[in-house]
Amino acid sequence: MRRATLILVPYLWLLALFLVPFLIVLKISLSDTALAIPPYTPTLDFSTGWQGFKDFWAELDLENFEFLTTDDLYWKAYLSSLKIAIIATLFTLLVGYPIAYGMANAPDHWRPTLMMLVILPFWTSFLIRVYSWMGILSNEGYLNQFLLGTGLISEPLTILNTNTAVYIGIVYTYLPFMILPIYSALERLDASLLEAAEDLGCSRLTAFWLVTVPLSKNGIIAGCFLVFIPTLGEFVIPSLLGGSKTLMIGKVLWEEFFNNRDWPVASAVAVILLLILIIPIILFQRNEQKQREIDG
């Protein structure tokens, strides 16, 4: 009896507030736009009974999805999101790996502090962290002031409101997600493996490629997914740091919903985004599973 209560309370909660809303999104994505409140048809009318349900069912169609394929704004936005997410993930890896490597090779008594310093930004407001770059990257910003001051450039660089700013923002905010899994993989690396590789004829650099990198592979994969997955649906960063030309699907969805009030199309955009996300999510789960098997 108690066990049933224990299961049912969180179960029903999640059904009602996670699964059902998602089914509603799915349903609305198959509906038509209407100038009404709510701004879509059909609505399920239980008063007409079974016939009402059949009518409702018959009116659902894939029209919105067809619309997404005809208007090139959408598929361009998907492609551009993918592109930005992939490039940003690679940049984050390039920045994060050396930091994780440095942490793993730091003296033992430093490491808890370094860990703390990596995690701390994660607890501070995401919005503020993105915002902090606006002042740095703008035309009159601190970076341009610094570069002009040192005489490296004579004209201010335009960085804010470009894709470059978006990349910087993503690398900055998601860096801890990249560092932590790689660090935990590197920290477990047995130093004698590197000595063995050197003993067998490797230089430091080949030992790094042949031993350190393959043995931190799972950490790298986990870190990349942890950055890639949330980046794909990112809204705040492209809106604040990106320009009008920065196309990201999270931003399109927001605008479709709030500015155009086109709920069915917004829902269809969301459904497709989820379908795209399922692949990396499954791959990520597999990688985690594999890691657990090796550890276990």
Partner 1 sequence: MRRLTWFNTTALTLGFAFLYLPMLILIVYSFNSSKLVTVWAGFSTKWYGELLQNEAFLNAAWVTLKVAVISSTFATVLGTMGALVLVRAGRFAGRTLFSGMIYAPLVMPEVITGLSLLLLFIGIGLDRGVFTIVLAHTTFSMCYVSVVVSSRLVSFDRSLEEAALDLGCSPMEAFRLVTLPIIAPAVISGWLLAFTLSLDDLVIASFTAGPSATTLPMKIWSSVRLGVSPEINALSTLMIGIVAIGVITASLITKRATLRQQAEERAAVKA
Partner 2 sequence: MGQTVFEPWNDPDAKPLIQFKNVTKRFGDFVAIDNQSFDIYEQEFFALLGPSGCGKTTMMRMLAGFETPTEGTILLGGQDIAPIPPNKRAVNMMFQSYALFPHLSIWENIAFGLKRDSMPKDQIDARVAEMLKLTRLEQFAKRKPHQCSGGQRQRVALARSLAKAPKLLLLDEPLGALDAKLRQDTQFELMDIQEKTGTTFVIVTHDQEEAMTVASRVAVMDHGKIIQADTPARIYEMPSSVYVADFIGDVTIISGTATPSGDGYDIAFAEGQPDLRAKSDIQLSKGQSCHLAIRPEKVSITAEKPSDAANALQGKILDIAYLGNLSTYHVELSTGQVVKSQTANTRRLSRRSFTWEDEVWLSWTDTAGVLLKE
Query: Which residues contribute to the site for partner 2 (CB under 8 A)?
Result: 190, 192-193, 195-203, 206, 210-211, 214-215, 217, 294
- Torsion-angle region of residue 34: left (phi > 0), alpha (psi -120 to 50) or beta? beta
All residues at 6 or more sequence positions from 221 whose CB lies less than 8 Å from its CB, including other chains = 284, 287
Min. distance of Cβ 133 from partner 1 in angstroms?
A: 6
Does residue 156 bind partner 1 (CB under 8 A)?
Answer: no
Min. distance of Cβ 96 from partner 2 in angstroms?
A: 21
Subset of 71-90 contacting partner 1 (CB under 8 A): none
The listed partner (partner 1, partner 2, none) that binds 215, CB under 5 to 8 Å by sort, is partner 2
Subset of 235-294 contacting partner 1 (CB under 8 A): 235-236, 239-240, 250, 253-254, 257, 263, 266-267, 270, 273-274, 277, 281, 284
Does residue 206 bind partner 1 (CB under 8 A)?
Answer: no
Subset of 225-244 contacting partner 1 (CB under 8 A): 229-230, 232-236, 239-240
DSSP string, 76-99: HHHHHHHHHHHHHHHHHHHHHHHH
Min. distance of Cβ 91 from partner 1 in angstroms?
A: 12
Piece of the chain touching partner 1 by CB under 8 A; list 53-61, 106-114, 150-158, 214-222: 106-114
Min. distance of Cβ 37 from partner 1 in angstroms?
A: 9
The listed partner (partner 2, partner 1, none) that binds 197, CB under 5 to 8 Å by sort, is partner 2
Does residue 116 bind partner 1 (CB under 8 A)?
Answer: yes
Give 67 or 257: the residue with its C-beta nearer to partner 1: 257
Does residue 121 bind partner 1 (CB under 8 A)?
Answer: yes
Does residue 134 bind partner 1 (CB under 8 A)?
Answer: yes
Does residue 141 bind partner 1 (CB under 8 A)?
Answer: yes
DSSP string, the chain: -HHHHHHHHHHHHHIIIIIHHHHHHHHHHTSEE-SSSSSEE----GGGHHHHHHHHHHH--SHHHHHHHHSHHHHHHHHHHHHHHHHHHHHHHHHHHHHHHHHHTS-GGGHHHHHHHHHHHHHS-HHHHHHHHHHHHSTTSHHHHHHHHHTS-SS----TTSHHHHHHHHHHHHHHHHHHHHHHHHHTS-HHHHHHHHHTT--HHHHIIIIIHHHTHHHHHHHHHHHHHHHHT--HHHHHHS-TT---HHHHHHHHHHTS--HHHHHHHHHHHHHHHHHHHHHHHHHHHHHHHHH-
Q: Using the rule CB under 8 A, which residue among 62, 73, 94, 127 binds partner 1? A: 127
The listed partner (partner 1, partner 2, none) that binds 106, CB under 5 to 8 Å by sort, is partner 1
Q: How many residues bind partner 1 (CB under 8 A)?
A: 80
